[in-house]
Chain A
Amino acid sequence: MSDVETLDDGAEPIETLTLPLDAWHRARGGRMVEFAGYWMPVQYEGILAEHLWTRDSAGLFDVSHMGQLFVSGEGVESALEAVLPIDLATLKPFGPRYSLLTDDSGGILDDLMVTRWSSGFYLVVNGATKWDDIAHLRENLPDEVTITHLDDSALLALQGPKAFAALERVVTGEYPLSALTFMKGGQFKIAGVDAWISRSGYTGEDGFEIAIPAERAAEIADLICAQPEVKPIGLGARDSLRLEAGLPLYGHDLSPETSPIEADLLFGINKRRRSEGGFLGAERILREIAEGAPRKRVGLALDGRQAAREGADIYVGNQKVGVLTSGGFSPTLNHPIAMAYVDTAHAAPDTALEIDVRGKRLPARVVPMPFVPHRYHR
C-alpha cells in the first residue's frame, strides 16, 4: 500500500512548530500531522464521523496556525486599498469581509478576512502564507502604517447548527451573542477572558470564529468542548466540509497562477474598485471583469464512488480542458465532488466532462457551488 498523502500545503518548513493547543489535541487523541509549518490534528475519531458531527451538531476547530494581523496608523485606509480590492468606505466596524491579496500581475497571493476595529484593521490570513503576506504588506504599505502580528492570540472556530446554543451558554458580553448575525463580530468574554468573536467560518454552517489569548486557549477549548453539542474536529473534516461548501482553499484552488475572476471570486473585488481600480493587478483583473477570463473555477459532481484528486486532468474527448484543484468524497452527498479550473467554453452548468484518474476516465458534470447549501444565520 502506498503512503497516505498528508494534507500538504506545499510549504517545506525547516522545523515544525507547535501551536498553543498542541498538548490539548494530543491528550484528546488527535492524530498530529505537519501542516503550514505546524503540528496540527488531522483527525480524532475519524474524518467521516467528524464531518457528519459538524453538519448535525457543532465542531470545534483549532485554526491558530492562521495569521492574525493588526494594521494601523496614519493613512491606513488608503494604504490598504492599494493592496486589497476592498471598499473600506462601505466596511462597517466589527464585521469581517472577505478580500484578496493580489500581486501586480493579478494573481492571488492569499485570501483573507478584513475587519474594521476601532483604531485599525484586523486581518486573518492563511497559515502557510502568513510570513509572505507580512513581507508583502511591509513592502507595499507606507512606513506610517504599522503591521502587528498578533502571534500571542489563538484562533478557534466553532461550526455547526448547534454552535450558537453551545457558545451562548459560555459567553458574556455587553450584548447577547444573538446580536451577531452572519459576518458580524464583537468583543465578548469566555470564562472571564476577552474573546473577539465573529459569526463566520469555513464550513458553510452557522458558526463562530473566536480569537483568545494563547495562554488561556486550552481552558477555553475545554469549556467549549464540555458542552454536549461540541466535539473537537481535525483538519481532514475541515477540508471535506469546506469543499462541500464550495469554498476555495489557498495553495490548492487559489494561487499566484490564478486570478480572482478565474477563481469566480468577483464578490471579492468590491463594486467601487471594479470601476476605479488602483490595486495591485487591477489591469488584468478589470480586463477579465469586462471581457471574461479564459478559464473558470467550477464545481464537478462525479458519478459512482471513486474520487478524483488534485492534479487530475479533465478532458472533453481527446482535448484537455482543465485540471482538478480539490477533490474528494462528499460525506453529506455520498458521492465524489471536486473543484477544477476548466476552459470557459466548458464551464457552464451541466457540461459533461471526463476526469483522468490513473488512466481511467471518470464521468463528471459541472454543477453550481456550493455542493451543500450554506446555512448561515443572516
Chain B
Amino acid sequence: MPRYFTKDHEWIDVDGDTGTVGITDYAQSQLGDITYVDLPAAGTAVKKGDAPCVVDSVKAASDVYAPVSGTVSEANSALEGEPELVNTQAEDGGWLFRVTLSDASELDGLMDRAAYDAYVADL
C-alpha cells in the first residue's frame, strides 16, 4: 500500500480509492502533547487543501489539510478518548480520517517517504 506525504506534514495511505490520512511523526513532535482532535464527520466533502480536521495541543491549534479531494468515509473514533494516540502512534494507530478519493491524479504531486525525509532533514 503506497504512502504519500505532503509538505504540510500529512501522510496518506492509499488502498484502491480509499485514503487514510494522518500527520507525520515529525509533525506530532513539533506540536507536542495533543489534547483534542476535532475530527470531520463521515460524508463531509473535502477539496485538496481544505482543513477538515484540527489538532489541538497544549500549545496551539493546528489545521490538518486534506492531501486529496474526496468524501470523508470515517474518522478515527479512538482519538475521542485518547487524543494522545496522535503523539504515540502518529503514523499508525493515530490516523485521523479516511477519505474516498475523487481524483487519484492528485497523488502525483505528493512525496514518497524518501523525498519527505529529505524535506524534513532540510527544515
**A46 at the B interface (CB under 8 A):** yes
In the complex, A75→B63 CA distance in Å? 56
In the complex, A306→B56 CA distance in Å? 7
Q: Contact check, B58 vs A306: say whether CB atoms are below 8 A apart.
A: no
CB-based A-B contact count at 8 angstroms: 72
**A93 at the B interface (CB under 8 A):** no
B24's closest neighbor in chain A, by CB? A1
Smallest distance from the beta carbon of A30 to chain B beta carbons, Å?
13
Q: Contact check, B56 vs A307: say whether CB atoms are below 8 A apart.
A: yes
**B55 at the A interface (CB under 8 A):** yes
**A329 at the B interface (CB under 8 A):** yes
**B3 at the A interface (CB under 8 A):** no
**B95 at the A interface (CB under 8 A):** no
Contacts of A51 in B (CB 8 A): 58
From B26-34, B70-78, B100-108, B114-122, the one touching the partner chain is B26-34
Given contacts A48-B33, A358-B54, A1 and B64 within 8 Å (CB-CB) = yes
In the complex, A4→B26 CA distance in Å? 12
**B9 at the A interface (CB under 8 A):** yes
Q: Find residues 38-61 in chain B having any chain A CB closer than 8 Å to their own CB.
A: 38, 51, 54-61
Contacts of B58 in A (CB 8 A): 47-48, 51, 236, 240, 328-329, 331
Contacts of A48 in B (CB 8 A): 32-33, 58
Q: Contact check, A305 vs B64: say whether CB atoms are below 8 A apart.
A: no
In the complex, A360→B56 CA distance in Å? 15
In the complex, A42→B54 CA distance in Å? 22
Q: Contact check, B65 vs A4: say whether CB atoms are below 8 A apart.
A: no
Q: Contact check, A4 vs B57: say whether CB atoms are below 8 A apart.
A: yes
**B83 at the A interface (CB under 8 A):** yes
**Set B32, B38, B56, B62: member contacting A1, Cβ < 8 A:** B62
Q: Contact check, A2 vs B8: say whether CB atoms are below 8 A apart.
A: yes
**Set B35, B54, B62: member contacting A329, Cβ < 8 A:** B35
**B23 at the A interface (CB under 8 A):** yes
B83's closest neighbor in chain A, by CB? A305
**A5 at the B interface (CB under 8 A):** yes
In the complex, A42→B60 CA distance in Å? 13
In the complex, A287→B47 CA distance in Å? 54
In the complex, A309→B56 CA distance in Å? 10
User: Using an 8 Å CB-CB cutoff, how does the interface string of A26-67 with B read, 1 for contact, 0 for none?
Assistant: 000000000000000011001111010000000000000000
Contacts of A257 in B (CB 8 A): none
User: Using an 8 Å CB-CB cutoff, how does the interface string of A1-17 with B read, 1 for contact, 0 for none?
Assistant: 11111010000000000
Given contacts A5-B60, A47-B59, A236-B58, A306 and B38 within 8 Å (CB-CB) = yes
In the complex, A5→B32 CA distance in Å? 12
